[in-house]
Amino acid sequence: MRIFHVLPGSVSESSTLPMVLPAKGYVWIACGRREFELEQGAVQSTLQVLCGMTLVDLHIADLLNNQLPSHYDYTSQYDILVFRRLAAGHSETDLSHPGEVLTRTVPRGGPPVLRRIDTSPVGFAVFDRVLLTVHPAGCQALEQYATRLTSAATAASRAAGVHLPPSPADLMLRIVNQMVDGYLALRRELTRQLDHWQTELLQPKARFSNWGSLLDARISLHQLDEICEDQRSSIQDWNENLATWEPTDAIGGQRGLELLKVRSRDVLEHIERVVHHVRRLEQNAETAVQMHFSAQSNRTNDIMRTLTALTAIFLPLNLIASIFGMNFQFIPLLHQKTGFWWAIGSMALTAVLLGLLFWRKRYLRSSR
């Protein structure tokens, strides 16, 4: 469990739950899911002391549920956001090992980059001056943003225009935005893998054998699409509720409220970019399969057209051979010494003429 005291110009970290709020600023309490389950009594007591209220039982169950989709809920005193991350990692839960990262890999098919995407939920409880976050074990979003938050408190960062989050709601939106951008960093590798499969599918002489992986990729992309839709819906609900907020000192007044709305719209725009990209990849995978079978059908048509043309060339030759093979006593040219050569010549001439005719009509040429 990590506790950060975020003041207007500094950030300090402690390992014990605070019993009093700072004169200015707010407190960020970050803990693992299993840690929160074991220490929820102490956390509830801290929230009662700091905020004068505790979390509702249903919201505690939401924060502990590692299979819950992204969603937003609120009370008159605090807001709850559960947001499923799209980040590189294998651990989905830490239910049996408090605070430890599981090394068990979650079975998943498709390209390696899809198998590395972890969609574990991260829970946020946003109070006026307290932010409680519940993370899966080894959550990179927590580690990365804690580092950024600490570095942003330095004088060099302030001189460069990097400002600390002024409120718990702003801090939550920044963490969510970082989790969304984590997927945007993975999209290049995923796009490269699907482009490689498309190239293999359209190779005229290659035999594509990764059908199982391609099917798993389509299923995984469809699941990611559903996850992204839940993310977008939860942030939209947050934005709708944010529109009813009144400017208070806890969020920085009117300017702080406007900045919250701007950041919320920015997070929503990033999620929509992810949704657009995932759907485009899913459509590309489907299009590649359709183009593959269209190309196979086209090659089959080429082969059948060539065989049909060759059959049409040899049909007149069979007719001539059948005529001269009749059991009649008197057939023209049958008893002449040159009859055989006349028959062979007529067959060759017929074959050449038909071959030239079919070649001119492109019946004997490939369409590629």
- CATH code of the domain containing 168: 3.30.460.20
Whether residue 81 is predicted with pLDDT greater than 70 in this model: the reply is yes
Confidence label for 329 from pLDDT (cuts 50, 70 and 90): confident
Check: CB of residue 218 under 8 Å from CB of residue 286: yes
SS3 call for 332: coil
pLDDT of residue 204: 62
Mean of pLDDT values over 133-145: 83
Task: Check whether 323 has a pLDDT greater than 50.
Answer: yes
For residue 127, being part of any structural domain is answered with yes
Question: Which residues lie below 8 Å from residue 146, measured CB to CB, with a gap of 6+?
Answer: 2, 4, 13, 30
Helices 253-324 and 187-201 pack at an angle, to 10 degrees, of: 10
Q: Say how many domains are in the chain.
A: 1
Residue 27: band (very low, low, confident or very high) from pLDDT cuts 50, 70, 90 = very high
Flag whether pLDDT at 167 surpasses 60: yes
At residue 237, the pLDDT reads 92
* Residue 167 belongs to some domain of the structure: yes
CB 264 within 8 A of CB 207: no
The strand pairing partners of 26, in sequence order, are 6
For residues 199 and 292, what is the distance between their CA atoms, to the nearest angstrom?
Answer: 10
Indicate whether 98 belongs to any domain.
yes
**Domain assignment present for 275:** yes
pLDDT score at 57: 92
Stretch 353-358: mean pLDDT: 84
CB contact set of 335 (below 8 Å; sequence gap of 6+): none
pLDDT of the residue at 206: 62
Q: With respect to residue 301, please indicate whether it lies within any of the assigned structural domains.
A: no
Residue 183 CB neighbours (<10 A): 25
Among the listed residues 286, 234, 28, 265, the one whose alpha carbon sits nearest the alpha carbon of residue 142: 28
Contacts within 8 Å (CB) and 24+ apart, 264-270? 264/173, 264/235, 264/238, 264/239, 265/239, 266/177, 267/173, 267/176, 267/177, 267/180, 267/235, 268/232, 268/235, 268/236, 268/239, 270/177, 270/180, 270/181, 270/184
314: CB partners within 8 A, 6+ apart: 351
Q: Is the pLDDT of residue 127 over 90?
A: yes
- CA gap 7, 1 in Å, rounded: 19
Residue 179's domain spans which residues?
2-295
Residue of higher predicted confidence among 92 and 7: 7
Residue 340 lies in a domain: no
Of all residues in the chain, the percent with pLDDT exceeding 70 is 82
Q: Is residue 316 part of a domain?
A: no
Q: What is the CA radius of gyration of the chain?
A: 35
Confidence of residue 295 (pLDDT cuts 50, 70, 90): confident
Is 255 part of any domain?
A: yes
3-state SS class at 176: helix
Q: Which residue has the higher pLDDT, 198 or 275?
A: 275
Whether pLDDT at 105 is above 50: no
Top pLDDT among 368 and 10 is at: 10
Q: Does the structure show a pLDDT above 60 at 100?
A: no
Ranked by mean pLDDT, the top range of 3-12, 198-207, 296-305 is: 3-12
